[in-house]
Amino acid sequence: MSFSSLGLSEPILRGVAAAGYDQPTDIQSRAIPKILAEQHLIGLGQTGSGKTAAFGLPMLDRLVGGEPGLRGLIIVPTRELCVQVAENLRNYAQFAGLHVCTAFGGIDLSIQESAFKRGLDVLVACPGRLIDHLERRNLTLDKVEMVVLDEADRMLDMGFMPQIRKIFIRMPRERQNLLFSATMPTEVESLVEDFLPGAERVQIGERSQAAKTISHRFVAMTIADKKDALERVLEREHGKVLVFVNKKINCEKLGNALKRDGLPADAIHGDKSAEARHACLQGFSRGKVRFLVATDVAARGIDVDDIDLVVNYDFPLGLEDYIHRSGRTGRAGRKGRALSLVAPSEKRLHAVVAAHLRGEKVKSVGRYPAGGGGRGGSRNGGGGKKPRRRLQRA
């Protein structure tokens, strides 16, 4: 299938060609015709599935040649994702004469306001900052024709649901709604009921499945041994490695420790300024920093396709997080590797992931899986104990 057979107009097709895409991905070929037909849509897609273009291209197509003004709104959970989605859209929109602006916290409101005045057709925004602009009357949502809520489940995790509802009620009733999410927790379903009733669902592959191109390895060890083990692994790596930890403070500490030990490492987490995070992402993207230590939230915005290895230094707190983390490698059809260092206290979480990878059905509620689903054992760090009734936050 080609992009031109999807019904996109000429200036948008030129943008796609400039982005270097030959063929639409699965989610793109399924979602784009439906969005062009003005359907409301819920996209359940894996990380790296190409969903930005799946919603971005038909949005730009709808807006091209129309009245200027804020008509396309994309709401995203993090600054990094905001910058990345906007960069992709600007690339696709370069022959369409449309202006794409961003609104995210950590930089002066007036800088963004001046950009809006120069031209604003599509806004990519984080919820809190968008509300700041609305309250200051820097913009209105009166003309919005199409809204995209990206990574809805992550918005929920970050506590943004009240802001999202506030934003939705400020838009005209007549509009097209799109929602993308890796999972559909109850609160997201209730948002769908209120704002996207009757929306078409597009499921990409199995629900929240780890990508098939990734190999998964688990090594049992004590927490005290993890740092040395990680350094031994990193010393053998020639490519980019993303190392996950669960807490911001440990992220900073581990990044500093690796740097002190002479490794080309850095750390990215929510307590760093927008500028520091941007510099860090650039360093990683360009390969100046090859080992990046990150928290789950900060890592959402990393759009780097050539990550060779993902290391779970801390085991993720839920199955969905494991899938998201490992989905950072093996992107766009490449092979990838995930390595988890499993401490005794993390064995129960590991058992859930191992069961999922064996293809067993694991019931999962948001980020925290309920019930183990597996026998708990696995090659390395699994341990043979029965999973407890309910997994606790580690």
Residues that bind ligand AMP (CB under 6 A): 21, 23-25, 28, 48-53, 303, 305, 332
**Upper half-sphere CA count for residue 76 (Cβ side, 13 Å):** 25
Q: Provide the minimum distance between the beta carbon of 307 and ligand AMP in the complex, in angstroms, as a whole number.
A: 12
Query: Which CB sits closer to ligand AMP, 49 or 112?
Result: 49
User: Dihedral through CA 217, CA 235, CA 222, CA 241, nearest 10?
Assistant: -50
Cβ atoms < 10 Å from Cβ of 201: 12
Q: Which residue number, 92 or 313, has a Cβ lying nearer to ligand AMP?
A: 92
Strand locations in the chain (E): 41-44, 72-75, 100-103, 122-125, 146-149, 176-181, 200-203, 214-220, 240-244, 265-268, 291-294, 307-312, 336-342, 364-365, 368-369
Distance CA 61, CA 40 (A): 16
Min separation Cβ 12 and ligand AMP, Å: 13
| Closer Cβ to ligand AMP, 25 or 102, answer by number | 25
Least spacing, CB of residue 331 vs ligand AMP, in Å = 6
| Smallest gap from residue 259 Cβ to ligand AMP (A) | 28
Rounded to an integer, what distance in angstroms lies between the CA atom of residue 31 and that of residue 45? 11
Min dist. Cβ of residue 89 to ligand AMP (A): 11
Smallest gap from Cβ 84 to ligand AMP, in A, equals 7
Tokens representing residue 378 in the block: 């696995």
Nearer to ligand AMP, 49 or 181 (CB): 49
Q: Please say which residue, 296 or 303, places its beta carbon nearer to ligand AMP.
A: 303
Would you state the structure tokens that stand for residue 298, as one six-digit string? 């900060």
For residues 118 and 286, which CB has a smaller minimum distance to ligand AMP in the complex?
286
**Residue 223 or residue 332: which is nearer to ligand AMP going by CB?**
332
Q: How far is the CB of 383 from ligand AMP (least distance, A)?
A: 35
Backbone CA torsion sign across 142, 143, 145, 150: negative
* Complex with ligand AMP: residue 19 or 249, whichever CB lies closer: 19
DSSP bridge pairs for 240: 307
Q: Label residue 1 exposed, middle or buried (CB < 10 Å: 0-12, 13-18, 19+).
A: exposed
Nearer to ligand AMP, 2 or 215 (CB): 2
Residues 6+ apart with CB under 8 A from 100: 86, 89, 90, 93, 121, 122, 123, 124
CB of 221 closer than 8 Å to CB of 343: yes
CB of 8 vs ligand AMP, minimal distance in Å:
12
Minimum distance of ligand AMP from residue 85's CB (angstroms) = 8
Sign of CA dihedral 118, 124, 125, 130: positive
Residue carrying the six token digits 């949005």: 59
- Angle CA 314–319–321, to nearest 5: 60
